[in-house]
Structure 1
Amino acid sequence: MVKIKSDIEGFQATRPVLTMGMFDGVHKGHLALLTSLIQKAKQINGESVVLTFWPHPRIVLSQEPEKLRLLTTLEEKTRLLSEAGIDHIIILPFTKEFSALSAQEFIQKYLAGKIGISHLIAGYNHRFGHGGISRPELEKLAEQHHFGLDFYGPVTIGGVKPSSTTIRRYISDGDVWEASGFLGRFYSIKGRIVGGKRLGRKLGYPTANIRMDESIKLIPHDGVYACKVHLLGKNYGGMLNVGGRPTIDGDNSEKSMEVHIFNFHREVYAEEIRVEFIMRTRPEIKFSNIDALKERLRKDEEEVNAILREKGIIRSL
């Protein structure tokens, strides 16, 4: 059972083998590094430790925080790290004072002083400490503080290095299927069902309007998506629209996220819902009239059902 701490004081672990970073998305590159971490811990009869930070440094340092959107909330990141089989997760509060520490001060105070590190596995491009630190400098500090050091990566998938930045770009463009190849899972969003204008019902396609739990979470590009819906302990197929309602409300309609759930006929409000984005089927379109919109929705339903069957997401719809 993983042990999670948000306070580093009194931390105890047997021969800690540690890696650190933001781990936004906990993608395939991260998972490969975590596998190496766990293997190293077993080799030296130690315990694996992930040191991560919250909130994101850009928020604390006021580096355009309004533009920052993340692949994982803190809750999601912690769950994914736990599922990877890590022994300890330390969520270190990121503050301005903390950001001013040099790499040497950070190692001396935290890694050696409070954690008692035995071995550090650093990502090939990971930089830490105020002003960063070079590989030779880090090797020297590891020798001074008597801990082992390995550099891991880079991992490539189809010749591309998986990175949180690359995955964010794919999702921002609506390429959620491509993003899933780097994540190792489908991108998902969790929220609550809230009341809407009930326009979908009038069109023959009632929808659940989703209010996200975290405003910092990245929303895929506007358009229609095939998705998998987790609601009330069951899984359903669905088609989800991100964007406004230009045909009904005009070009300046308020942006929303609503999903038509296949084979689901209950009215539910305030329930938790999670949707996994499988594939984008089309961009948002302004139709000439309501009948044209209804006809397109029928085609959307056919296309989404075909995708869900082809990808083996939902066996029977």
Structure 2
Amino acid sequence: MQIHPSIETYSGPPPVLTMGTFDGVHPGHHALLRELVRLAKALNTVSVVLTFWPHPRLVLGHDPEKLRLLNTLEEKTRILSETGIDHLVVLPFTTELAQLSASEFTTHILAEQLRTRHLLVGFNHRFGKDGVRSEELDALATRLGFGLSRYQPVEVDGQRPSSTRIRQLLLAGRVPEANALLGYAYSITGRVVGGQQLGRRISFPTANLQVNERAKLLPPDGVYACRVRITGKTFGGMVNIGVKPTVNTQMDHRSVEVHILDFGEDIYSEEISLEFLHKTREEMKFEGLEALKAQLRKDETEIRKLLQRHGLPT
């Protein structure tokens, strides 16, 4: 897959194209992209995904503090690279772009600049300042001379996967259900930074994570079983998200820290990824460090059992 940071860097043949934010790149997206690749081969041309960054809501100010992304641009690019598409074009989303009507966007960007041969859209896809109804898009395709087809939704265990629904499940702590709709384990990536070193004093050293993307969704406060990816290796881990109420009086500060099982290396400043598998309990406040340590032992026993179910050696 070739990556283009702007429309101007794409110089391939007139493509079969689809577009969207693709946050999460869930099974519904994958089904659409398989059809995109099939159509491109049938028409003897290339497949192009046009996506937008930053997320339009962050630019337009539509409750940006409430928006939480399932994927960073780097994560989305990595997942899309595994789908078989030929080109990914990242269109910088600006307030000027947001002012384009659907007709202007289709004419100037899809037809004139990308020379789209065939447009594939999801069944409920809307775009442009004014949105575009189905019959209006049909008329635009006819006038501008490109093919048009729509892809119907898919279901996973009787549910239609959607980025909104996946966010709702994650924010409710229902991690296995969210992962089922995602098609993979939800993850966050960040760099290990210095902490309070409390974990070492109670024999549960933790790596404190500085998450790379400010708008990235963090699961709710609590304790989680996770897979930890470090420099190509995989370990089990127990993650705490929250304000650490036993030792931290700054209640407006959320932290992400992971105790990596059977691991003793210094990974300060390393980048690691956490893949969430289960939420095991809510964050709790303890009478003191001994009570905290006793609970952590219980957490470790439970989390090791959960990790075994996911094929991780413990």
Pairwise TM-score range, normalised by the shorter structure: over 0.9
CA distance in 1, matches of 2:253, 2:22: 32
Deviations 1:179-229 (A, max 9, x none): 111111101111111111111111211111111111111101111000111
Structure 1 segment 76-225 matched on structure 2, within 5 A? 76-225=75-224
Structure 1 segment 30-45 matched on structure 2, within 5 A? 30-45=29-44
Query: What do you get for the CA RMSD once the two structures are aligned?
Result: 1.4
CA offset at residue 250 of structure 1? 4.7
CA distance in 1, matches of 2:170, 2:48: 30
- Given that residues 192 and 207 in structure 2 are in contact (C-alpha distance below 8 angstroms), is that contact kept between their aligned partners in structure 1? yes
What letter is aligned with 1:98?
Answer: L
Which one is further off, 280-289 or 30-39? 280-289
CA offset at residue 251 of structure 1? 7.6
Residue 49 (structure 2) pairs with residue 46 (structure 1): no
Deviations 1:46-81 (A, max 9, x none): 111000111111121122212221011111111111
CA distance in 1, matches of 2:250, 2:305: 30
Q: Which runs of 5+ in 1 are unaligned?
A: none
CA distance in 2, matches of 1:67, 1:264: 36
CA distance in 1, matches of 2:54, 2:25: 16
TM-score by length of 2: 0.97
Q: Which runs of 5+ in 2 are unaligned?
A: none
CA offset at residue 174 of structure 1? 1.6
- State the match for 1:302 in structure 2: 301
CA offset at residue 109 of structure 1? 0.5
CA offset at residue 15 of structure 1? 3.8
CA distance in 1, matches of 2:244, 2:121: 47
- State the match for 1:19 in structure 2: 18
Aligned residue pairs total 314
- Given that residues 15 and 45 in structure 1 are in contact (C-alpha distance below 8 angstroms), is that contact kept between their aligned partners in structure 2? no
CA distance in 1, matches of 2:290, 2:92: 53
CA offset at residue 254 of structure 1? 3.2
Structure 1 segment 231-242 matched on structure 2, within 5 A? 231-242=230-241
Residue 17 and residue 243 in structure 1: after superposition, are their counterparts in 2 closer, same or farther (change >3 A)?
Answer: same
CA offset at residue 245 of structure 1? 1.6
Which one is further off, 57-66 or 109-118? 57-66
